[in-house]
């Protein structure tokens, strides 16, 4: 893990954000034209969707794939909210089954039965960016649902997937107890960055796992080296489940949770469940029912956690519910109600940038070995004698 996690995330981001070459450009305006364009895809093709509601579900396989130099792109001509892929109750609205080097940009993805976007059969180097993914829950109750879902098997994992700068949410709260914003089993080298995840909440049952219940992000079942960074996570039942109660032990190996803003979670901001070699660094937690919980994986009762929790601003203590865990804590600051006005520009409006009076936060970070070289806004760390605690470096 360590430096390798940082390097792999940077390489993935560079590969999936570089301006790609274009072989041909196709503009479509209805579902029939969209399917015709998909049937004729070649590496480097760009499909531009004119404003419309496309009532369909899309399947991308190896036959639809691009290459590293020539990825395939689907993009909305007029930005998010203009081109809507409406699954119309199909199980999955957009599925990548063994597909590779495809960029989805600026689309609304909604109306699916169980999932909005699904990665399976070793899909890799997929980029989903600048889109809105919401309300893919036509099948009720919500006992097998995630807006974005990845799944193995263990020997054919989705890998090198970038989920960037999307809005992922529910506009209403149907009953159920197994639903997430992003959920993954047997997933490697995912980068989940810059997203706004909100209102994945109000579970009313517990059909499988306690931590399946309304989590905005959950990466489990022997997932490896996932980086979760710079996300704003609001009004979810559980903000992030690092690991979980899934299909394999350890539930998560390596990876990092850094520079996230998590607030107003109904139960817990971050749950750590059967994680080996994990790091939780420079996050800001506020007004959650609980801050960080380190828990036993009930499906694997022999499991143990090995995790570093450092340089965070927390809204409560770290609770450790499992004997024998190796939990290292460094330079975390637990908020008191009286001090928030002197720390943040406007905590009531969830603006957690630091004030100059935040002397208990500024320059108080422990060394993190270069693992968090910048902050939520991209400001380099450290700007002073040491890094500041939480997701933001102080900017005069």
| Stretch (H or E) spanning 192 | strand 191-193
| Stretch (H or E) spanning 13 | helix 3-17
pLDDT digits (tens, 9 = 90+) for 175-203: 999 999 999 999 999 999 999 999 999 99
132 near 94, Cβ under 8 Å? no
pLDDT band of 324, cuts 50, 70, 90 = confident
pLDDT value of position 3: 44
Query: What percentage of the chain has pLDDT greater than the value 70?
Result: 94
CATH topology of domain 3-258: Pectate Lyase C-like (2.160.20)
pTM of the model: 0.94
Q: How large is the average pLDDT for residues 106-134?
A: 98
pLDDT value of position 1: 38
pLDDT digits (tens, 9 = 90+) for 252-293: 999 999 999 999 999 999 999 999 999 999 999 999 999 999
Per-residue pLDDT at 135 exceeds 80: yes
Spell out the alpha helix ranges (H) of 92-204.
none
Residues 6 or more apart whose Cβ sits within 8 Å of residue 131: 80, 104, 105, 106, 107, 108, 109, 166, 167
Provide the residue ranges of all domains of the chain, joining segments of one domain with +: 3-258
């Amino acid at each position: 893990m360590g430096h390798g996690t940082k390097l792999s995330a940077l390489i993935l981001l560079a590969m999936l954000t570089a301006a790609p070459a274009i072989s041909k450009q196709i503009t479509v305006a209805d579902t029939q034209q969209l399917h015709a364009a998909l049937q004729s895809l070649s590496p480097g093709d760009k499909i531009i969707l004119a404003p419309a509601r496309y009532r369909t579900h899309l399947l991308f396989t190896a036959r639809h794939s691009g290459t590293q130099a020539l990825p395939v792109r689907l993009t909305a001509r007029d930005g998010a909210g203009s081109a809507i892929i409406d699954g119309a109750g199909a199980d999955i609205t957009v599925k990548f089954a063994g597909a590779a080097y495809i960029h989805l940009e600026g689309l609304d993805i909604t109306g699916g039965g169980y999932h909005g976007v699904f990665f399976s059969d070793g899909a890799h180097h997929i980029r989903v960016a600048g889109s809105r993914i919401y309300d893919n829950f036509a099948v009720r109750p919500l006992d097998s649902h995630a807006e974005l879902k990845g799944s193995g098997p263990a020997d054919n994992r989705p890998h090198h997937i970038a989920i960037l700068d999307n809005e992922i949410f529910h506009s209403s709260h149907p009953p159920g107890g197994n639903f997430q914003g992003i959920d993954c089993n047997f997933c490697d080298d995912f980068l989940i960055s810059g997203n706004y995840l909100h209102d994945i909440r109000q579970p009313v049952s517990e059909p499988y796992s306690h931590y399946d219940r309304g989590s905005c992000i959950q990466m489990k079942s022997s997932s490896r080296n996932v980086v979760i960074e710079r996300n704003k996570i609001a009004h979810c039942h559980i903000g992030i489940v690092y690991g979980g109660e899934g299909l394999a032990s350890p539930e998560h190996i390596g990876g990092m949770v850094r520079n996230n803003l998590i607030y107003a979670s109904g139960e817990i901001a971050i749950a750590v469940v059967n994680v080996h070699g994990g790091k939780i660094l420079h996050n800001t937690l506020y007004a959650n029912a609980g801050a960080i919980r380190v828990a036993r994986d009930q499906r694997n009762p022999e499991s143990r956690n090995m995790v570093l929790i450092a340089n965070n601003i927390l809204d409560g203590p770290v609770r450790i519910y499992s004997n024998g865990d190796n939990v290292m804590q460094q330079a975390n600051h637990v908020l008191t109600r009286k001090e928030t006005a002197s720390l943040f520009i406007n905590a009531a409006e969830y603006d957690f940038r630091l004030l100059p009076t935040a002397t208990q936060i500024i320059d108080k970070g422990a060394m993190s070995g270069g693992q968090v070289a910048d902050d939520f806004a991209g400001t380099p760390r450290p700007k002073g004698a040491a890094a500041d605690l939480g997701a933001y470096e102080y900017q005069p």
